[in-house]
Amino acid sequence: MSVEEGTKRSLLERLQDNYRLVILDDDDLREVTSFSFSLLIVYILLSSVMVLLTVMVVSFIVFTPVKRWIPGYGEIKENSEFVELTRRIDELEKQVQAHDTYTMGLKNMLKSIENAEVEQAAKAPQSLKNSDVVESMKARALDHLVFASPLSGSISADYDPSREHLGTDIIAPKGTAVKSVMEGIVLSAEWSVESGNSVLIQHPRNIVSV
């Protein structure tokens, strides 16, 4: 009768049963300590530990860079940055394509002008020297370029190849900035006894300014 009543007990009643854990000394079987507990308390403690561990793991993932290692999280989190980078790359590709188209058109135009000048030179009288034709073509090519004044001031000496004066001397107040005649790459910047401080700049169309 008592066995049947035990089987009919509810789970909550069975969890509330008290148990005692006794620790004995193996030599003299003397009781060292003992703990009284119930299955309900053990269940509550284990559940609390599991909840606490879950909260700690979730907090560790959310508030630390570890979340970037989770597959799919980084893609969703950085989606806006990826879209912005993609848009900028598309704009740069369009700019490069437009620049290439412009450069190709300019090359074709210059090539057609050069071919026309060569044909015109071929039809010119034989007394015209080839060197004169080449110089004329170079001079005409330079007509399309725009040079900026490197310095504002009064000219003290003009360009005169006859006396080996291969430049123009300009007088300006001390400390006045000297600018490049057009965009280019600095080849050298040094001081020498003959020319003093000098800067050599490589420009497009194989032009070098000093």
Per mean pLDDT, which range of 18-32, 121-135, 154-168 is the poorest? 121-135
Give me the phi and psi of 137, to 5 degrees please: -65, -40
53 with 105, same domain: the answer is no
pLDDT value for 152? 82
Residues 134 and 155 both lie in one domain: no
pLDDT level of residue 53 (50, 70, 90 thresholds): very high
Q: What is the pTM of this model?
A: 0.34
When pLDDT is cut at 50, 70 and 90, the band that residue 48 belongs to is: very high
| DSSP bridge pairs for 190 | 198
Task: Answer whether 174's CB lies under 8 Å from 208's CB.
Answer: no
Does residue 126 share a domain with residue 149? no
Of the residues 115, 141, 167, the one at which a domain ends: 141
Question: Residue 70 falls within a domain, yes or no?
Answer: no
149 found inside a domain: yes
Domain of 94?
Answer: 80-141
DSSP class of residue 168 equals -
Arithmetic mean of pLDDT over the chain: 79
Reported as a pLDDT band with limits 50, 70 and 90, residue 5 is low
Q: CA separation (Å) from 111 to 106, 196, 207? A: 8, 40, 19
Residue 162 is predicted with a pLDDT of: 87
Q: How many domains does the chain have?
A: 3
